Structure 1
């Protein structure tokens, strides 16, 4: 007899799906993050039924999807149970995870998800763990001779890491906990006070992110580099795509070194001498994904095809260099029951005013 407590119920809203109930749905996790929202918006634009889930009951992506639900965090013992419950109720046949920290839990539950009719494409847990541990990632890059900043997780190792330095948590996302330090004594003090930190040589040059997709057999299907021209809280808000053999080569080497498959975003710098260096890999779609999609590389559709048809070959994806993105705030509105409330600005047409802000006559 199973004495485990019942799984926490998934709570959320249902949005009319306009006659699409006969089509299987896609379950997207991490509906509150920029990557999850980007995936949800792309799938909805293509006419898919999308069920969005997040541990945050106010996740924005839940309001953008066909249906949205609140589920436990990935470290909860009933996380996978809650996903299966939502999936069965809403005829889900594919799952896309957009949170790196959830991937090990999803991989552990992949057989149960498959038994419930939900297909997945998840990277090896060992690959995810290396990507999520900046010290382990540095060792992997060094072992594969991939350009990467000198790194240490101990004060004694700082002798081989030239300054100036960037000190940051060995596990974490965005710019959380990042310190830019110019004094060796300050770095040593930081490492002594918090053993979870690492120190790296601070790179100079232009910062890039490359959105990538690697087939299940390890074939690199696309690398879409984009300049991170302006960021806020670690998320790109202005950027442009570009083509670079040096970036493509170093990105390919880094992905091969960690044996990652599926979607990923690789971050790094291009120095004044044109040399490209990788800083980290996030084993998931990126927050800047909309720019890659706008440039023509539909990595979301290709990834979904690879989930639903794991033995079918996937195409190489091309993109247009020079596509620019400028990101702005947008809002969604719901009432107390989660029912959508009309956007008061939705009727305004882009370009209805001239550059000086005057109304353009009809």
Structure 2
């Protein structure tokens, strides 16, 4: 939710009107944001999650339960749910799920379900922060110096984080080297990085199938809770555009992603990590007028993407907060095997 009126009046896209679209990960803010935006665009979102009490399953839209991403039959269950719910397309908002369905677009298309999944290598390199550091380093993309398992000769101050993790869980700032022995035992597969200076930002991006950056909306991370932006202000800077283009080439990224990094007054934009999915702070970019959800769905369906619809107004500040909804006592029914 936001405290600003969207500067561009959102109207339903006739090409998307009435289309049923299955959205996964509706227990998280990204999934909820996509569901709400699809409804505003005139589509019919079908919310899906592995938790029967996931918030997005109780917003008044059709809903279905899925297994966890690590279930042996997850790809088949996802496709079966989309077919059973008469969906024209599927939008996956969980990176671990994307890893399971990568390369299976043709299988979905054969059943009448449009999908756009990034390449498995790109998803895996975003999930594995050590692999990510290696890929961007080899490509000459600016990022923090990194070491696996300990600080080695990295200059401080430092950040210690899990090699695989999400949000701000088990992420620690270190100023005193004496703190390393305790943190390195506490954090699973610790990755140590030199802490970047400057102002922190996130960019919500849409990258074409050929690697062309179709749209990138940077916003300052003015306030975060559990790693998710709750207050942000959109801005423009060509250095962010250059960074996103470099990352798309280095990682082979396509589709939606969000880039997290830092900007100093001088020098290039530097990346900390990339998530190959819609971000939890997506409503900030949407509030600034960037039709990231609608244009992504158009591209998924093979329709032309309108570049002008991906432009966002700069200097739009959005404040987001949490709301409550009482779930129906009966859980959402699971899809039959």
TM (norm. structure 1) is 0.82
- CA displacement at 1:286 relative to structure 2: 0.6
Residue pair 1:50, 1:65 contacting (<8 A) in 2 also: no
Paired residues, what number?
Answer: 314
Q: Which residue of 2 aligns with 1:50?
A: 45
- CA displacement at 1:313 relative to structure 2: 4.0
Which deviates more from structure 2 when the two are superposed, residues 105-114 or residues 138-147? 105-114
Q: Which residue of 1 aligns with 2:138?
A: 143
SS at 1:91 equivalent: coil
Q: Which gives a bigger RCO, structure 1 or 2 (Cα 8 Å, sep 6+)? A: 2
- CA displacement at 1:336 relative to structure 2: 1.5
The correspondence of residues 1-362 of structure 1 with structure 2, limited to 5 A, is 23-64=18-59, 66-107=61-102, 109-155=104-150, 158-187=151-180, 190-191=183-184, 196-273=189-266, 275-309=268-302, 312-316=303-307, 317-337=310-330
Residue pair 1:72, 1:79 contacting (<8 A) in 2 also: yes
- CA displacement at 1:200 relative to structure 2: 0.4
- CA displacement at 1:115 relative to structure 2: 2.5
Partners of 2:168 and 2:233 in 1: how far apart?
21
- CA displacement at 1:53 relative to structure 2: 0.7
Residue pair 2:52, 2:331 contacting (<8 A) in 1 also: no
- CA displacement at 1:179 relative to structure 2: 1.2
Residue pair 2:202, 2:221 contacting (<8 A) in 1 also: yes
Partners of 2:60 and 2:237 in 1: how far apart?
36
Residue pair 1:153, 1:195 contacting (<8 A) in 2 also: no
- CA displacement at 1:111 relative to structure 2: 3.8
Where structure 2 has 5 or more consecutive residues not aligned to the other structure, the ranges are: 1-16, 333-337
Residue pair 2:143, 2:270 contacting (<8 A) in 1 also: yes
Residue pair 1:215, 1:314 contacting (<8 A) in 2 also: no
- CA displacement at 1:275 relative to structure 2: 4.0
- CA displacement at 1:325 relative to structure 2: 0.5
- CA displacement at 1:108 relative to structure 2: 5.2
Which deviates more from structure 2 when the two are superposed, residues 61-70 or residues 145-154? 61-70
> In 2 relative to 1, CA 78–159 (structure 1 residues): closer, same or farther, beyond 3 Å?
closer
Where structure 1 has 5 or more consecutive residues not aligned to the other structure, the ranges are: 1-21, 340-362
SS at 2:51 equivalent: coil
Partners of 1:47 and 1:37 in 2: how far apart?
16
Q: Which residue of 1 aligns with 2:4?
A: none
- CA displacement at 1:235 relative to structure 2: 0.6
SS at 2:152 equivalent: helix
For the aligned residues, what is the CA RMSD? 1.9
- CA displacement at 1:90 relative to structure 2: 1.7
- CA displacement at 1:78 relative to structure 2: 2.1
- CA displacement at 1:272 relative to structure 2: 4.3
Partners of 1:88 and 1:269 in 2: how far apart?
42
- CA displacement at 1:244 relative to structure 2: 0.7
TM (norm. structure 2) is 0.88
Which deviates more from structure 2 when the two are superposed, residues 36-45 or residues 101-110? 101-110
